[in-house]
Amino acid sequence: MLYLYIIFFVLLSCIPSIANTYDAGPIFDENSWGQPFLSGNSNTSSCCNYDSSTYIQNWGIGHTGIDLGMNKVSIGDSVKAISNGIIVGRRLQCTGSLRKANASLVLVKHKTSSGVEFIAIYGHTAPLDLSCSGLARGQKYKEDRTEIAVQQGQEIGTLVKYGVPHMHFGIAVGASVDTLFSGWGRYSSKAGSPPDYFRNPEDFLLANSPSQASGECTGEYVNGFWHVYCP
Ligand SMILES: [Zn+2]
């Protein structure tokens, strides 16, 4: 019997702890994509730690982003835009307390230096200046599509609670705001693979740099999609 216990503990010790599977990736750099958390909350080496294997991880249901700042950030920390762009969607979960409003999110349209537009999904993030007041009866979410130009580093929301505090970060190319409001972070594993508009955030950001435009961006809604114009 003791023998079995020893085997059990040896096996257990082979499972890597969550804490040491995260490392500070090279994605976020002040000269390229900005850090999504305020420097006051964390430092360069810990702010954006992530586990790249969480993309398309199957936890009974598919996961279409990477989780940032695990164990390093706190509820209420500011979330910042990683480059200039336009907030195209804000969604606030209005059921339960704000600390549990994990399906709250901010969608920001950004542009790469090669002109590719994408929507970054800043998940588990309560948008600024949006409240649940006036919500229609029976509705769970306040959703807003007001277009708001943002600069790199500008605060776009604050982290809300979802398990260990972290931000869910996703990238979609060619998906509408409405599509992402409902399917922003998960997909049915039975489908086998995620919707084709999702990109691996690590691969995508490493392969691209932000549009060098420094002025405020504007947007235009055409055929169901936002188009970003940066001066
Ligand atoms: Zn996540």
pLDDT digits (tens, 9 = 90+) for 108-148: 999 999 999 999 999 999 999 898 888 888 889 999 999 99
Length of the chain, please?
A: 231
Q: So what's the pLDDT on residue 7? A: 46
Q: How far apart are CA 67 and CA 141, in angstroms?
A: 22
Helix (H, G, I), strand (E, B) or coil at 103: coil
Distance 168 CA to ligand 1 centre (A): 4
Distance 86 CA to ligand 1 centre (A): 22
Is the pLDDT confidence value at 107 over 90? yes
What is the phi/psi pair of residue 12, to 5°? -60, -40
Q: Specify the range with the lowest mean pLDDT, choosing from 24-38, 89-103, 174-188.
A: 24-38
Is the pLDDT confidence value at 87 over 60? yes
Amino acid residing at 188: S
Distance 67 CA to ligand 1 centre (A): 5
> Model-level pTM?
0.79
Average pLDDT over residues 91-105: 78
What is the phi/psi pair of residue 110, to 5°? -120, 170
Beta strands, E only, 48-200: 49-50, 62-63, 66-68, 78-80, 85-93, 105-111, 117-123, 125-127, 141-144, 148-150, 155-159, 167-172, 186-187, 198-199
Distance 37 CA to ligand 1 centre (A): 16
For the domain bounded by 2-229, which CATH number is listed?
A: 2.70.70.10
> What are the residues whose beta carbon lies below 5 Å from ligand 1 (ion)?
67, 168
Distance 31 CA to ligand 1 centre (A): 26
Q: Which residues pair with 142 in a beta bridge?
A: 92
